[in-house]
Amino acid sequence: MRNEYNLIDEPWIPVADHGRVGLADIFSRTDIRALGGNPIQKLAVMKLLLAIAQAACTPEDEEEWRKMGPEGLASCCLSYLERWRHRFFLFGEVPFLQMPKVESLVAARTDARLKKAKTRGKKKQEIQKGAPKPFGAGFYPDLPSDNNSMLSHTMLGKELDSGEQALFILTLMNFAFAGKRVEGGMKSLAGTVLSDKHSAPAGPSLGGFVGQLHGLVVTGDLRKDVWLNVLTREQIEKANRWPEGVGCPAWEAMPAHEQDARAKAIRESYQGCLVGVSRFVYLKDGGIYYLDGIQYPKVSEGWFEPTLMLDQSDKLPKAKYVNLEKRPWRELPAFLSFLESGSTAGFENMAFRVGVQRMKQRKERLCVWTGGIRVSSTSGDQSAKQDDDFLESTVWIDGDDLGTVWLNHLDLEMKGMDKLASTVYGSLRNYFADLHATPEYAGAQAALGSNLFWQFCERDFQTLVDNCERGERESQAREALRHRFVQHAHKVFDLYAPRETARQLEAWANRCPNPPAGYLETAERQQPTTQGA
């Protein structure tokens, strides 16, 4: 086959303000500030860029990392891409992250079934089943099921161009939805018998439940972001999570099947968690052959990615899942708890720890980015439906502010907002109870009101973050924000608690929310107790 569409040169990566660019543009241009696309597409592309960087030039330690700098790393990546140019063709003899052998497996199954087919209609049906599958909408790392309900135009299938197909495959490798859309009724490449209803597990970065939350540090300069998030060999060895160490990226040497030594090496290397191979796929005639791939362990079984939020407090580690009702910015103090020496609370996120410490030392402004997708899971089958959605959150922080004082002030303010949100919830619930509404209705309205309160507060959260350092000006700013948050509470209560009748007016007057005791005291009087501040 002729080699076509090289990902190094062709525009396929969505970036902010520029449309789509190729891999060479990412490492050669200085005007690309951030990736585009949905959150899991951003994660998948960032993982690919980091995999290229780790393959091109993994620094030995922090000293070598600092000396290399963004420019040095970008130069190494460009050299690497040129050296491995032949492995970045989307179509050809060795297509990028694809397994051409999958086509022959499907063809053999089709031939066997055609021999058994008795009618022309049955033969036509088997031929259709043996054809490449359609992509669907393309922005989910999943193929449409045969009985999909089309609720909006965004769910309609469409033809993907070559760049969209490349992005789809890349996202699929780590974030594939679990379910039965994979090919079945055949033997796998390793010889395992797959039933007609074979169900594949979720990609390791998505997880097998409702979708895992990821986070990392970015700067507003994409080349610098790659450099900032590259791990040193010293950090990889110290983490003791990957028996194969840095490893070899999948595109340099794909496995022959899902159980061979190469598959094991990919699964147990750092490169394998950056760009996995959770599906064996092959692009053909505008569609895709789609087979189950390498089997990955769960987080509870030892799977680890630097971008995952992991709770290590229990016997078995647990990943933090995407929660659309509680946006990640509300848990920022827990995410950054490692800034407080000796703290064991919160979540472990290696990418946060490495990125924040590096930017703190450089005294530069950084952005804490979190993102993921919420999915529904039924009997091991995942899909995005009803109120499922992508989640993305960004918070900018000055590197020279980061420390115990800043973190304790932020934690104090967030606890106050939590109490205020609880007050809103209780006031609305009691208001509807006074009007003899059912407990279910009263609770639902209270939950909606509390959620709206947090939406109002999110508009001012960046200002709060910027004023959590010690100082008179900062204290005055936090005090003003508290008054503003109380105004949000009253506004939400007024929106959800009408006062048009005498009974409503009486209930409104009795249940109007008052701020928690001491909340409106001056910030100076509420300085948190700190040790070693």
The pLDDT tens digits for 129-150 are: 999 999 987 889 999 876 555 5
Task: Please provide the DSSP assignment of 354-423 as one string.
Answer: HHHHHHHHHT--EEEEEEEE--EEETTEEE--TT--EEEEEEEE-GGG-SHHHHHHHHHHHHHHHHHHHH
pLDDT confidence of residue 146: 63
* Structure tokens that stand for 215 in this block: 């986070």
- 215 phi and psi angles, rounded to 5 deg: -155, 150
Name the DSSP class of 320: P
Q: How far apart are CA 159 and CA 353, in angstroms?
A: 41
When pLDDT is averaged across residues 307-312 and rounded to a whole number, the result is 91
Walk me through the domains of the chain, giving residue ranges and CATH numbers: 1-143+157-399 (no CATH), 403-526 (1.10.132)
In sequence order, the 6+-apart residues with CB closer than 8 A to the CB of 284 are 103, 132
Q: What is the pLDDT of residue 346?
A: 65
Q: Kindly state the average pLDDT of the residues 287-308.
A: 95
Q: Which residues pair with 281 in a beta bridge?
A: 290
Q: CB burial class (10 A; 0-12, 13-18, 19+) of residue 209?
A: middle
442, 65, 33: which is closest to 236 by C-alpha? 65
158 pLDDT tier (thresholds 50, 70, 90): confident
Average pLDDT of the chain? 92
Question: Is there a contact between 199 and 168 (Cβ–Cβ < 8 Å)?
Answer: no
* Residue that wins the pLDDT comparison between 153 and 379: 379
Ordered DSSP codes for 145-208: PTT----SGGGS-----HHHHHHHHHHHHHHPPPBS-S--SEE-TTS-EE-TT--BPPPTTT-S
Is the distance from CB of 177 to CB of 375 less than 8 angstroms? yes
Query: What is the distance between the alpha carbons of residues 490 and 482, in angstroms, rounded to a whole number?
Result: 13
The whole-angstrom separation of Cα 385 and Cα 182 is 19
Q: What's residue 324's pLDDT?
A: 93
Computed on alpha carbons and rounded to an integer, the radius of gyration of the chain in Å comes to 26
More confident position, 401 or 178: 178
**pLDDT value at position 208?**
87
Name which of 33-37, 149-153, 328-332 the model is least confident about: 149-153
Backbone φ and ψ of 332, nearest 5°: -55, -45
Average pLDDT over residues 390-396: 96
What is the DSSP annotation of 434-459? HTT--HHHHHHHHHHHHHHHHHHHHH
Return the closest-CA partner of residue 88 out of 22, 159, 140.
Answer: 22
Q: Is the pLDDT of residue 531 over 80?
A: no
Cα–Cα distance measured from residue 405 to residue 529, given in angstroms and rounded to the nearest whole number: 9
Which of 331-340, 358-367, 414-423 is least confident? Answer: 331-340
pLDDT at 149: 58
Least confidently predicted of 222-236, 297-311, 331-345 = 331-345
Spatial contact of 311 and 318, defined as CB atoms under 8 Å apart: yes
Q: How confident is the model at residue 532 (pLDDT cuts 50, 70, 90)?
A: very low
Reply yes or no on whether the pLDDT at 316 is more than 90: no
> What CA–CA distance (Å, rounded) separates 225 from 65?
13
Nearest to 148 by CA among 164, 133, 166, 130: 133
Q: Tell me how far apart the alpha carbons of residues 50 and 57 are, in angstroms, rounded to a whole number.
A: 10
CB 167 within 8 A of CB 96: no
pLDDT at residue 136, rounded to an integer: 84
Q: Hey, what long-range contacts does 81-88 have (CB within 8 A, 24 or more apart)?
A: 81/8, 81/23, 81/24, 81/27, 81/52, 81/56, 82/8, 84/251, 84/252, 85/6, 85/8, 86/3, 87/251, 87/252, 88/6, 88/7, 88/8, 88/23, 88/251
Cβ-count burial 24-52 (b if 16+ within 10 Å, e if not): bbbbbeeebbbbbbbbbbbbbbbbbbbbb
Give the Cα separation of 331 and 347 in Å (integer). Answer: 10
Indicate if the alpha-carbon torsion angle 274, 276, 282, 285 is positive or negative: negative
The answer on pLDDT for 301 being more than 80 is yes
